[in-house]
Structure formats: structure tokens, C-alpha cells
């Protein structure tokens, strides 16, 4: 692995730094040589004069530049005293020493005077000048480093060798059709310019995680033969003020140079969140970055060969200025695929892999309603890993079914073995789901299992006929509720009390019933909605706007939710009482074999007649 190279220092900066260090050391060493170095004991000039008058001195020396006098007594003691800097005492000393017959010398110290001028004046000035020059160069280098830091680091430009195209996309025909027009605009802008049509400046891909928004953006770039600039919205938000805006300017400058190009901003909500929301009414750096993004998108010329694509799974929190025509002109919804889309996606991922003769993409797709493209890819990969673990040459249908269970609930839990009572309780619970589903709506149950996975102790793979529908009636939701509450009803009938296994069922049933009351108007409260999700986000969580709702209404919502759930359990209980013998047969077989497939369940549930068509 190639390690990143360290930043190098230019030669001039290195020479300056070395010179400053050398001069600083020379200053420290030479400074002592310029200071006075008196010998002996310090005394006063008065004492020196008295000793000279008493003829108790043998000699004296005046150091003119240091302004001190050195004397030696008749006893051999060495003394020194300071003199006035103006030299006013020199003449009096010379007279006193002459009258006493004591020799007195005067040393002008001319060499030391020049040395002190160099060391104490010129050298510090030179050090300061060089130091300021060095700091100026380092500051300029730091500014250059900040400039490089604020530039967008180009992460990927699509090469034409093996581009991703719409042939690599499945399960999203509407999104492909919308993006195909953007490709035409990039390939043949003159055709639309002749009609005076303004090219869309951007398209926003909206959908839950894993639905293929990034793949669609790459395919659009590959289909159009354009350069592809991919960046995450979080890369623009930095702690340094102005860095995000600078990176956006640099990104779009590179895109203009590489036109035709597609700029793809993933997780747009990281930088495009509504301004003025949250604590402190927003973040100045993020808002400055958003403002720069708005300016850059506005700066595109029609037919300029640049299209901005962005992806988010939270369009409700985006700033309205981003969503207006002229910026992100189009919103392309990329939702979880239906059964036909899942079949196409599975066929695409299974293509080129060794698969068994019993594998049918359509049959596997029907077992995983609601799965996104990423989850389907994970299913195929897990199936391949399972086939390799069992040393098979091809992926079998059993591997794909087990992979679906692993993706939904995790691998089998082997840390705890269930007791006989636990197996019987869970088997009755799951069997009740299958019986009520058959008795009420004719939904097919693909599999029943009491194999513990993760925190789930059992599972009933019930394929609801309503799952692929976009519009559901109240009767459809009531049937789903009764099927969900079937496990709870079965435990009450069999054991007279509930177990902790009903937790997930009660949670799902309560959520659905509350939605029927507060969102769909399917209760005695009438056709109104209460507690719609707010568009504001506070500390990452969506607020529930309950302004104007009184406590009486809230109590009524709770009462209506309880009534709907209890009614669903009553319906399930009635169906179970009517077909209790089938429940016991299914539960007994399930407790012994742990898993029942579709064929075995069809045989066991055959005594239950299908309900008449409405």
C-alpha cells in the first residue's frame, strides 16, 4: 500500500529557518561576552576614593565602556565599583590617584564596543527580520493548504471503458423513463434548443434506502456518455467557516470544464436541510453552503451540458428553495419494487451465476414483498454463500429461501434450546396465523417456522394479496389486523393467558389501528386526520404536530384504537374456534418438524373453505 507523501518544505523556507536558528544560537553565546565581567568584590566609588587617599591601593584600571573601576589593595584584595555613564568622575579619580602615587590606567575597550553593537543591536534586528519573513512564508503556505483543503477532492469520474447503463437497472421503469430524457438532452441538446425548450437543471431522486438511486445516477451518466461526479452531501459540511461553499464552487468549476457532465449529490438532506430549523435557528456554515449550492445551480446555462442529480430519503426536510422549478425541476420517485420489479431484479442478479433447475425468480420474488433492490442483492449473495458453505456447485431454491429468512430475521439462533412447552406455545401461535389468514382472506402461507432467529422465536410467511396494492379499503385493513392478532387469540384459547411472543404482533396491530383512526378516518372520530407528521425536524426526530387537539380527543383516539384491535382479536378468535382442529394439527406437525413448507401447509389447511368472493 502506497503511503501518502508528507508535505515538502521549499528550499528558501528551509534556509530561512536554519539561518534564524543559527543566529539565535550565536546571539545567546555572544551575549555574555558583551556584558561587564568585574573581578573581585563590589564596593562603592566613595570607598575606592578613600582607599586611594589613604595610600592603601597598589593599582587601578578604569574600563571606560563598561563604566567600572578595578582596584587592588595593598593586602592583595581585588575590588570593583561602578562609575557614572557620562564619565564625570574620571577626572577626579585621576587626580586622587596621582596625588596618592597610585598608578591608574584607562582602557577605552574599542573592540568590545563594536562587538556589543553587533551582538546587542544588529543581530537582534536581523533575527527579527528573518523571523518575520519566515512567518510570512509559512502563513502563505498555510493559506495554500487551506485552499487545497477547501477544494473538492475529485473522487470519481466515469471512464467510458465499462460504463453503467440502464441495462444494468431493473425494477424501476418509471425512473428510467424520466432519466432517459435527461440523457437525450445531454446527447442532443440542439434538438430541444430548436423547440426553445429549457433543459432541466436538476432532478431529485426520492425513495427509501437501497432502492437504487445511486445506481440510476451512474446509469444516466453512462447512458449519456457524460463524466460522472459523485459526492456526498456530508462532504460539504465542515467545521471551518467557508470551506463547504468553496468546495461547491470548485466542484461545479470542474464539472463545467468536463462538460457534458452529471453532478450527483448523494444524501442531499445533509446540506440542503431547511434553513432556520432546529436549535439556534440553523447553522451558519451549512446555510452558507446551501446558499452557494443554490447559486451554482442557478448559474447553469440552458444546454450547457451539465445536469445535477441528487438523492434523498427525506424530501420533507429539504429547503423549499431547492425544490422550486429552475433548480431541481423534477422529482423522480424510486420506491420499493412490486413483484414484477423484484422478479426482474432477481433475474439480473442471478444472471451469470450457477443456479439449480428448481430456481424460479418469480417464485422467489413472491416470498419477499417490500424488499428493495439492495436487500434482493443481499439475498442472492447470502444464497451463494450458503451454497458454498454446503459445497454445492449451484444455488438451490432452498438456499434462496434460507437467505430470505436470514435477511429478514438473521441467522438461526443456536445458543438456546427451546423447551417442549415453549415449542408448543410458539407452534400454536404461528399455526393460528396461518389458519386465520386462510379462513378470512385466502392469503397463501408459504412457510411456518418455529426456528429462532435473532430475537424472533418463530415466523409465519404469509403472502397477503393486499401487499402489492396501492389502495386498500377498510375491510382489507381489518382483515390484516385480524390475521396479525391471530397469534394472540390462539394463545388465549389454548393456554388461557398470553406469552411474551405476542409483543411484535401487538406492536404492529396497534400501529396499524392508530393509523386507521388518526390518518385514514376509519373510526367514530370521522373523516379527519390528527397528528400528521410535521415538516420540521428537531434534533434529528420528526415532531408530531398535535396543536389544537384536546385531551378528550386524545382519550378518544386511544379508546378507538383499543376498540379496533379488540374487534380484530374477536374476529380471529371466532375463526379459530371454528377451525380449532386444524390449528392443533398444524401446531402438532410444526412442533415436530420445526418448519412447514407451502405444500405441507396446503394439505393441512385444505379442510378450511376459501371465503366467497365479494
- Which residues carry out catalysis? 430
Secondary element (H or E) of residue 513: helix 503-518
Query: Grid coordinates representing 446?
Result: 408459504
CA angle 498, 506, 459 (to 5 degrees): 80
Q: What is the DSSP letter of 121?
A: I
Q: What is the DSSP letter of 118?
A: I
Q: Half-sphere exposure of 271 toward its Cβ, with a 13 Å CA cutoff?
A: 27
Using a 10 angstrom Cβ sphere, with 0-12 exposed, 13-18 middle and 19 or more buried, the burial of residue 136 is exposed
> Is residue 463 within 8 Å of 602, Cβ to Cβ?
no
**What's the rounded Cα separation, in Å, for the pair 377 and 359?**
16
SS3 label, residue 205:
strand
Query: Grid coordinates representing 501?
Result: 411472543
**What's the rounded Cα separation, in Å, for the pair 460 and 437?**
10
Which of 473-485 are b and which e, b meaning 16 or more Cβ less than 10 Å from the residue's Cβ?
A: eeeebbbbbbbbb
> Is residue 24 within 8 Å of 131, Cβ to Cβ?
no
Secondary element (H or E) of residue 533: strand 533-538
- Among residues 353, 341, 28, the alpha carbon closest in space to that of 170 is found at 341
φ/ψ of 318, rounded to 5, equals -75, 150
**What's the rounded Cα separation, in Å, for the pair 173 and 212?**
12
Q: How many residues does the chain have?
A: 614
> Is residue 60 within 8 Å of 97, Cβ to Cβ?
yes
Secondary element (H or E) of residue 604: helix 598-605
* Runs of H (alpha helix) within 299-338: 320-323
- Among residues 166, 154, 378, 382, the alpha carbon closest in space to that of 264 is found at 154
SS3 label, residue 110:
helix
The contacts found for 455-460 with CB under 8 angstroms, 24 or more apart, are 456/409, 456/504, 457/418, 457/422, 457/426, 457/501, 458/426, 458/427, 458/429, 458/430, 458/501, 459/405, 459/408, 459/409, 459/430, 460/430, 460/433, 460/434
Distances (CA, A) of 13 to 7, 126, 573: 13, 16, 86
**What's the rounded Cα separation, in Å, for the pair 201 and 207?**
20
Peptide bond into 594 cis (omega under 30): no
SS3 label, residue 107:
strand
- Among residues 110, 62, 113, 125, the alpha carbon closest in space to that of 88 is found at 62
**What's the rounded Cα separation, in Å, for the pair 416 and 590?**
19
Amino acid at each position: 500500500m502506497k503511503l501518502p507523501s508528507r508535505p515538502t518544505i521549499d528550499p528558501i523556507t528551509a534556509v530561512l529557518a536554519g539561518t534564524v536558528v543559527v543566529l539565535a544560537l550565536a546571539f545567546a553565546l555572544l551575549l555574555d561576552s558583551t556584558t561587564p565581567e568585574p573581578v573581585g568584590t563590589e564596593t562603592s566609588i566613595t570607598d575606592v576614593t578613600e582607599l586611594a587617599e589613604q595610600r592603601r591601593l597598589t593599582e587601578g584600571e578604569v574600563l571606560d565602556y563598561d563604566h567600572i573601576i578595578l582596584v587592588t589593595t595593598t593586602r592583595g584584595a581585588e575590588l570593583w565599583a561602578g562609575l557614572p555613564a557620562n564619565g564625570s568622575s574620571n577626572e577626579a579619580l585621576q587626580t586622587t590617584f596621582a596625588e596618592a602615587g597610585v598608578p591608574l590606567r584607562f582602557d577605552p575597550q574599542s573592540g568590545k564596543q563594536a562587538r556589543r553593537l553587533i551582538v546587542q543591536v544588529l543581530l537582534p534586528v536581523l533575527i527579527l527580520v528573518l523571523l518575520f519573513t519566515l512567518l510570512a512564508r509559512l502563513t502563505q503556505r498555510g493559506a495554500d493548504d487551506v485552499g487545497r483543503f477547501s477544494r473538492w477532492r475529485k473522487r470519481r469520474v466515469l471512464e467510458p471503458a465499462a460504463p453503467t447503463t440502464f441495462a444494468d437497472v431493473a425494477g424501476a421503469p418509471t425512473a428510467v423513463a424520466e432519466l432517459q430524457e435527461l440523457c437525450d438532452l445531454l446527447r442532443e441538446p440542439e434538438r430541444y434548443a430548436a423547440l426553445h425548450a429549457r433543459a432541466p437543471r436538476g432532478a431529485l431522486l426520492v425513495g427509501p434506502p437501497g432502492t437504487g438511486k445511486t445506481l440510476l445516477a451512474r446509469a444516466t451518466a453512462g447512458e449519456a456518455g457524460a463524466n460522472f461526479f459523485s459526492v456526498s452531501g456530508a462532504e460539504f459540511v465542515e467545521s471551518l467557516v467557508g470551506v463547504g461553499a468553496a468546495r461547491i464552487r470548485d466542484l461545479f468549476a470542474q464539472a463545467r470544464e468536463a462538460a457534458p457532465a452529471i453532478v450527483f449529490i448523494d444524501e442531499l438532506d445533509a446540506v440542503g436541510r431547511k434553513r432556520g430549523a432546529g436549535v439556534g435557528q440553523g447553522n451558519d456554515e451549512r446555510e452558507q453552503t446551501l446558499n452557494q449550492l443554490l447559486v451554482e445551480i442557478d448559474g447553469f446555462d440552458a444546454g450547457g451540458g451539465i445536469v445535477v442529480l441528487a438523492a434523498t430519503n427525506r424530501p420533507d426536510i429539504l429547503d423549499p428553495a431547492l425544490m422550486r422549478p429552475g433548480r431541481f425541476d423534477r422529482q423522480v420517485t424510486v420506491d420499493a419494487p412490486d413483484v414484477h420489479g423484484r422478479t426482474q431484479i432477481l433475474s439480473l442478479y442471478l444472471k451469470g451465476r450457477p443456479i439449480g433447475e428448481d430456481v424460479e425468480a418469480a417464485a422467489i420474488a413472491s416470498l419477499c414483498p417490500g424488499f428493495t433492490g439492495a436487500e434482493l442483492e443481499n439475498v442472492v449473495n447470502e444464497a451463494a454463500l450458503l451454497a458454498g458453505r454446503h459445497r454445492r456447485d449451484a444455488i438451490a431454491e432452498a438456499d434462496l429461501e434460507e437467505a430470505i429468512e436470514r435477511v429478514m430475521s438473521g441467522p438461526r439462533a443456536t445458543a438456546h434450546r427451546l423447551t417442549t412447552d415453549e415449542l408448543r406455545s410458539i407452534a400454536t401461535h404461528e399455526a393460528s396465523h396461518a389458519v386465520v389468514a386462510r379462513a378470512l382472506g385466502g392469503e397463501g402461507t408459504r412457510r411456518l417456522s418455529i426456528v429462532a432467529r435473532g430475537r424472533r422465536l418463530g415466523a409465519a410467511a404469509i403472502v397477503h394479496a393486499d401487499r402489492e396494492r396501492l389502495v386498500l379499503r377498510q375491510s382489507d385493513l381489518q382483515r390484516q389486523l385480524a390475521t396479525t392478532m391471530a397469534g394472540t387469540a390462539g394463545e388465549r384459547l389454548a393456554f388461557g393467558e398470553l406469552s411474551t411472543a405476542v409483543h411484535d404482533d401487538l406492536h404492529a396491530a396497534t400501529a396499524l389501528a392508530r393509523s386507521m383512526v388518526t390518518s385514514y378516518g376509519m373510526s367514530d372520530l370521522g373523516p379527519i386526520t390528527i397528528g400528521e407528521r410535521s415538516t420540521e425536524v428537531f434534533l434529528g426526530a420528526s415532531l408530531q404536530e398535535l396543536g389544537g387537539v384536546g385531551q378528550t380527543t386524545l382519550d378518544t383516539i386511544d379508546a378507538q384504537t383499543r376498540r379496533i384491535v379488540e374487534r380484530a382479536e374477536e374476529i380471529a378468535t371466532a375463526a379459530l374456534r371454528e377451525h380449532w382442529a386444524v390449528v392443533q394439527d398444524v401446531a402438532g406437525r410444526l412442533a415436530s418438524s420445526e418448519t412447514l413448507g407451502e405444500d405441507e401447509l396446503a394439505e393441512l389447511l385444505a379442510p378450511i373453505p376459501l371465503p366467497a368472493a365479494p
